[in-house]
Amino acid sequence: MTDQIVAGTLLTMDGERTIWTDGGVLVRDGLIDAVGHRHDLVEQHPDARVMGGPRCIVTPGFVNAHQHLTGDRLIRSCIPDYIQAREAIFDWVVPVHAAHTGDDDELSATLSLLEAVGNGITTTVEAGTVAHPERVATAFERVGVRGTVGTWGWDVGDGPFAADTDDVLERQQSVLDSWPTGGLVEGWVTLVGHDLASDRLFSDAADMARAAGTGLTFHMSPSPDDGVAFSERSGKRPIHHLADLGVLGPGTLIAHAVHIDEREMSLLLDTRTAIAYCPWAYLRLGQGVTGAGHHVDFLHQGGRLALGCDTENAGDAIDAVRVGALATGLARDMSCDPTVFEAHEALELITIGGAEAIGMGDRIGSLEVGKAADLVVHDLSGVGSTPNAVDPALQLLWAGDGRAVRDVIVDGIPVVLDGRSTRVDHEGLVDEAELAQRRLFEQAGLSPTPRWPVR
Ligand SMILES: [Zn+2]
């Protein structure tokens, strides 16, 4: 493949967080081959194709550490927002998941990943609520993005694809066998989490992930409910219980961990367990992050933190910059102190910090020689970015969102050019998506209506 030079103001996110004005990244064979001044690279590589340019910012591809790719997507923004989170999940999301076919899974994941990459997200950790992982892996390949895939993992209750412990473990193992670590799509061990797994499932799943050298992810304590459930189950706090089962560790990524006490925080820090923090979900579902959340303390004590966009009906937009801005604003407001957390730290969380938290810091997350060429060109020529700011990080985070993303390269391949996927035409999926939405509502026995009268 022809060499490419991606030019602009580079936010490298390297060890020193070097910024290059009028910089360039040389992309060769899927990897970053050189980083430097644009004119030097162009001179040395006259045959290279040049992308980006003046008034562009180039960042590493963003990391979304918690995203449901199926289920909610095809009924996006249809679940009423005046009901309790439990009702939204168990009366709406779960029945829609249960009605999903393989075609629905692929369509849903394709749409989610197209939106994500259009907003600069090149790596997505799928949250594990997938019935047909092979179809979701196909969606990753179609859209041309990096990520992890799992499958339903719960052995308690009667939700979709709940099964006995051995069956669940077998299903998880087959995902790991199909998508080994190191590929563009990796298999992870994924449990639903909460109070919806037996002790044996939690501990055997952790052993399985460790043996395969891959990640384990599950949900815990977005609201106070899991704390109540575990105090009845074992008399211990959830994270304490999991620590005793041997579930914590550097390969474990816990989604949420909002309602945790000091002891639980210490256990997460001591074991190097990572957290995927999804603040839009807690705000949308009213789960109390502004009172209970300690994610920034966790980070500042050395904790491994990433950001996630979660599911459409808990956050709606799949936009890492939007999540970063929210996380920054929440941290400052919760402490009545604008100095506790800055935009630059949020950018770290969606690039190198997030990559490190999901165990991929050696491969992605920064513009450094030898890393995978996952790059995003943000076009700052629009009126909203005029004049360009002195510090591009401030402009990108506080004044930006995914709408400025123009070009995206993953593994050296341009997958978005001029704001459009080079691989999938989403307009060709509209009819199919509308049809699928109607059928899913019918099969799940749901009939949403607008809140206001329609004439
Ligand atoms: Zn989730």
Among 375, 368, 311, 369, which residue's Cα sits nearest to residue 122? 375
pLDDT one-digit tens code per residue, 42-85: 999 999 999 999 899 999 999 999 999 999 899 998 999 899 88
**Exposure string over 422-451, b if 16+ CB within 10 A, otherwise e:** ebbeeeeeeeebeebbeebbeebebeeeee
Which region, left, alpha or beta, applies to residue 429 given φ > 0 means left and ψ of -120 to 50 means alpha?
alpha
* Section 238-247 average pLDDT: 98
Calculate how far, in angstroms, residue 68's C-alpha sits from the geometric centre of ligand 1. Answer: 6
Structure token pair of residue 49: 């194709």
Q: What is the mean pLDDT of residues 197-211?
A: 98
Tell me how far the alpha carbon of residue 264 lies from the centroid of ligand 1, in angstroms: 20
On whether the CB atoms of residues 298 and 268 are closer than 8 A, the answer is: yes
The per-residue pLDDT of the chain, averaged, comes to 96
Residue 167 has pLDDT above 90, yes or no: yes
- Does the pLDDT value for residue 196 go beyond 80? yes
Classify domain 4-60+365-411 by CATH number.
2.30.40.10
Instruction: Measure 67 CA to ligand 1 centroid, in angstroms.
Output: 7
Mean pLDDT of 358-368: 98
Give the Å distance between the CA of 129 and the centre of ligand 1. 8
Sheet holding 274-277, edge to edge: 189-193, 216-220, 252-256, 274-277, 304-307
CA of 254 to the centre of ligand 1 (A): 10
Q: Judge whether residue 1 has pLDDT over 80.
A: no
Q: How far is the CA of 281 from the centre of ligand 1 (A)?
A: 9
Q: How confident is the model at residue 86 (pLDDT cuts 50, 70, 90)?
A: confident
Q: How far is the CA of 430 from the centre of ligand 1 (A)?
A: 25
| Spatial separation of the C-alpha atoms in residues 190 and 132, rounded to whole Å | 13
452 alpha carbon – ligand 1 mean position (Å): 29
User: Cα(219) to centroid of ligand 1, in Å?
Assistant: 6
Sign of torsion, CA 9 14 18 24? negative
- Ligand 1 center to 26 CA (angstroms): 37
Strand partners, 87: none
- List helix spans (H) across 305-391: 312-315, 320-334, 343-349, 352-357
303 CA to centre of ligand 1 in angstroms: 20
Taking the centre of ligand 1 as the mean of its atom positions, its distance from the CA of residue 280, in whole angstroms, is: 12
pLDDT tier, 435 (very low <50, low <70, confident <90, very high otherwise): very high
Q: Mind listing the pLDDT tens digit for each residue in 273-325?
A: 999 999 999 999 999 999 999 999 999 999 999 999 998 887 778 999 999 99
First to last CA, the chain: 57
User: What's the longest Cα–Cα distance across the chain?
Assistant: 68
Report how far residue 349's alpha carbon sits from residue 276's, in angstroms, rounded to the nearest whole number: 10
Choosing among 3.40.50.12780, 3.30.420.10, 3.20.20.140, 1.10.540.10, the CATH entry for 62-357 is 3.20.20.140
Q: Whose CA is closest to 190, among 201, 199, 198, 181? A: 201
Q: Is the pLDDT of residue 171 over 80?
A: yes
Ligand 1 centre and the CA of 310: distance in Å? 5
In the reported structure, the alpha carbon of residue 382 is separated from the centroid of ligand 1 by a whole-number distance in angstroms of 34
pLDDT of residue 314: 79
Residue 421 phi, psi dihedral angles, 5° rounding: -60, 135
CA–CA separation, 217 and 206 (whole Å): 9
Say how many Å lie between the CA of residue 454 and the centre of ligand 1: 33
Q: pLDDT tens digits, residue range 7-52?
A: 999 999 999 999 999 999 999 999 999 999 999 999 999 999 999 9
- φ and ψ at residue 406, rounded to 5 degrees: -110, -50
CA–centroid distance, 256 to ligand 1, in Å, is 8
Ligand 1 centroid, distance to 131 Cα (angstroms) = 15
Domain boundaries along the sequence of the chain: 4-60+365-411, 62-357
**From the CA of 9, how far away is ligand 1's center (Å)?**
35
What tokens appear for 387 in the block? 């004049």
pLDDT digits (tens, 9 = 90+) for 15-24: 999 999 999 9
CA of 311 to the centre of ligand 1 (A): 6
387 pLDDT above the threshold of 80: yes
CA of 213 to the centre of ligand 1 (A): 23
Ligand 1 mean position, distance from CA 325 (Å)? 20
Whole-number Å distance, alpha carbon 320 to ligand 1 midpoint, is 16
| 26: β partners | 5, 34
Residue (of 454, 440, 323) closest to 76 by Cα position: 440
- Strand pairing class (19-28; 274-277): unpaired
Kindly give the distance from the C-alpha atom of residue 66 to the centroid of ligand 1, in angstroms, as a whole number.
Answer: 6
> With 90 as the cut, is the pLDDT of residue 372 above it?
yes
31-37 β-sheet, strand order: 31-37, 19-28, 4-11, 49-60, 375-379, 405-410, 413-417, 420-421
Can you read off the two tokens belonging to residue 429? 């999926």
- CA 449 – ligand 1 centroid, Å: 25
- φ, ψ (nearest 5 deg) of residue 370: 95, -15
